[in-house]
Amino acid sequence: MNAPSSGLLQRVQLPRHYRIERADEAGATAAMSLRRAIFCTEQGLFVGDDRDQADDHAILLVARPALPETEGEAWGPVVGTVRIHQLENRIWQGSRLAVAAEFRRVGVIGGALIQLAVRTANTLGCERFVAQVQAPNVPLFRRLHWQTVREITMHGQPHHLMQADLQHYPAFAADEAMCVEVRRGQS
């Protein structure tokens, strides 16, 4: 019998349980490092750093896997991030959605980051939530109840200016923690 491929072994080792929440100081540092790795090194969209003025007032959200055998009592390193900020009164924007390469195949992290981003903004009084989405990611956003407003070019790459259907992203209740937990492979 043939030994399983290393890809199969790696897939089995990926955690099943993830928590998405507002970044603490260490999480923010890790998120910025992840963004540089993806947007500067991997994609070459920025030189050196992707920080901009939005980071001065943005809310940074992070995704972390549950540490093995803790069942959600302890959380591992940052494997995904997104930031949200208010553009103007009641209009919010999400940007810099990033998931570490080895966790992209998990299939729930990006969607959970998007969910928490829009629900958080909705809780804070959002009436319109937009994002400038890289063209290859448009199908994901469409599945998550977003519509293209118009096609645009940013950093020399095709993007879509998209808007979320806020009815699919309810505000958090006053006594509810603003976080999302997901388990892949479970309905």
Q: Which domains does the chain have, with CATH numbers?
A: 16-173 (3.40.630.30)
pLDDT class for 71, splitting at 50, 70, 90? low
DSSP string, 134-173: EGGGHHHHHHTTEEEEEEEEETTEEEEEEEE-GGGSPPPP
Query: Rounded to an integer, what distance in angstroms lies between the CA atom of residue 166 and that of residue 185?
Result: 26
More confident residue, 71 or 173: 173
Query: Rounded to an integer, what distance in angstroms lies between the CA atom of residue 164 and that of residue 45?
Result: 25
Q: What is the pLDDT of residues 74-117, one digit of tens each?
A: 899 999 999 999 999 999 999 999 999 999 988 899 999 999 99
**What would the mean pLDDT of 164-176 be, rounded to a whole number?**
96
Query: Rounded to an integer, what distance in angstroms lies between the CA atom of residue 127 and that of residue 2?
Result: 56
pLDDT class for 69, splitting at 50, 70, 90? confident
Q: What is the pLDDT of residues 110-156, one digit of tens each?
A: 999 999 999 999 999 999 999 999 999 999 999 999 999 999 999 89
Mean pLDDT of the chain: 90
pLDDT class for 72, splitting at 50, 70, 90? low
Query: Rounded to an integer, what distance in angstroms lies between the CA atom of residue 139 and that of residue 110?
Result: 12
